[in-house]
Amino acid sequence: MRVIVIGREGQVARALAERAPAHGAKAVLLGRPRLDLADPSGIEDILRETGGDLIVNAAAYTAVDQAETEPELAEAINGIGAGVAAGAAAVMRVPFIHLSTDYVFDGSLDRPYREDDTVNPLGAYGRSKRLGEEAVAAGIADHVILRTAWIYSPFGRNFVKTMLRLAKDREEVGVVADQLGSPTSASDIADGIFTVAKNLLERPQDRALRGVFHMTGAGFASWAEFAAEIFTLSARSGGPSARVRPIMTADYPTPAKRPFNSRLDCTKLETIHGIRLPSWQTSLASCVERLIAEMRESGVS
């Protein structure tokens, strides 16, 4: 299986590259400046020249707070650009796998969100990702949209790396305890994507396999619980650690509003695609261990 990945340095893009061999797949990564989702004109030609069995869009504008001041750019990349890439997949007659987010929901429900629950993004990033979902569905019938959340990995920028950095010179970190969600490993997402890809290619006519699915690490946590677990695991490996002071969202003002309830119900993915990601704690342990080992090797711990 030859998979074209849109995105090169991002967390999921790099995890797809790293996990491809384990699935007998080849991942071909395309990124800026060659493929720029903010510049639709060249997208179809580059994807066609590259050629593959399937396209995964792992690129996006992901700066949640910054999106509030440049919503047009977020929409160009996450909305219009995603739709153009999906349209190219339709021309190429290959399936298109797209990633979306818990931030399409407003978090007001008191249970985990299902795929057909009403979306109502609270911020510009969420709105741009919602536009992307609509643009992808309009661009190609043969698509899967995977809504995931709270991604961490040894790569790029994420909450785990931020917490380890803060712990190096702080004894205590204040972290919000009233937003709930599911930390999700980029490696686990990559494995899930390869399984979805295999299912799509094996059963091209099976409509049930297509559409929107929720895919997060199993179990739930607040950001404060997530941080506490990061520090426990880090201390165990001899890495930096700090005390977590649980705070309220109101005590941590940010430009973008975030949902209080970001929990996603992943039952549909398990029933239809046979995929259940490991518990967030299990995968977090491998990630933190790896990050501490890398810090030690580079002499910065």
Ligand X SMILES: Cc1cn([C@H]2C[C@H](O)[C@@H](COP(=O)(O)OP(=O)(O)O[C@H]3O[C@@H](C)C(=O)[C@@H](O)[C@H]3O)O2)c(=O)[nH]c1=O
Ligand Y SMILES: NC(=O)C1=CN([C@@H]2O[C@H](COP(=O)(O)OP(=O)(O)OC[C@H]3O[C@@H](n4cnc5c(N)ncnc54)[C@H](OP(=O)(O)O)[C@@H]3O)[C@@H](O)[C@H]2O)C=CC1
Q: Out of 11, 57, 78, 101, which residue is the one contacting ligand X (CB under 6 A)?
A: 101
Q: Which of residues 69-88 bind ligand Y (CB under 6 A)?
A: 77
- Residue 40 interacts with ligand Y (CB under 6 A)? no
Choices 60-68, 164-172, 232-240, 277-285 (CB under 6 A): range interacting with ligand Y: 60-68
120 binds, among ligand X, ligand Y, none (CB under 5 to 8 A by kind): none
Q: What CA–CA distance (Å, rounded) separates 283 from 298?
A: 23
Choices 9-17, 20-28, 167-175, 206-214 (CB under 6 A): range interacting with ligand X: 167-175
Q: What CA–CA distance (Å, rounded) separates 257 from 6?
A: 28
What DSSP string runs through 103-158?
GGS-S-SSSPBPTTSPP--SSHHHHHHHHHHHHHHHH-SSEEEEEE-SEE-SSSS-
- Residue 258 interacts with ligand X (CB under 6 A)? yes
| Contact yes or no for 221/246 (Cβ under 8 A) | no
Non-local CB neighbours of 150 within 8 Å, separated by 6+ positions: 102, 159, 181, 182, 183, 184, 216, 217, 226, 262
Residues binding ligand Y: number (CB under 6 A): 27
Q: How many Å separate Cα 262 from the centre of its chain?
A: 13
Q: Out of 176, 190, 264, 295, which residue is the one contacting ligand X (CB under 6 A)?
A: 176
Clarify whether 125 is annotated catalytic.
yes
- Residue 75 interacts with ligand X (CB under 6 A)? no
Q: What is the DSSP letter of 66?
A: G
- Residue 62 interacts with ligand X (CB under 6 A)? yes
Q: Give me the active site residues, please.
A: 125
Binding site residues, ligand Y, CB under 6 A: 7-13, 31-32, 35-38, 58-62, 77, 99, 101, 129, 148-151, 156
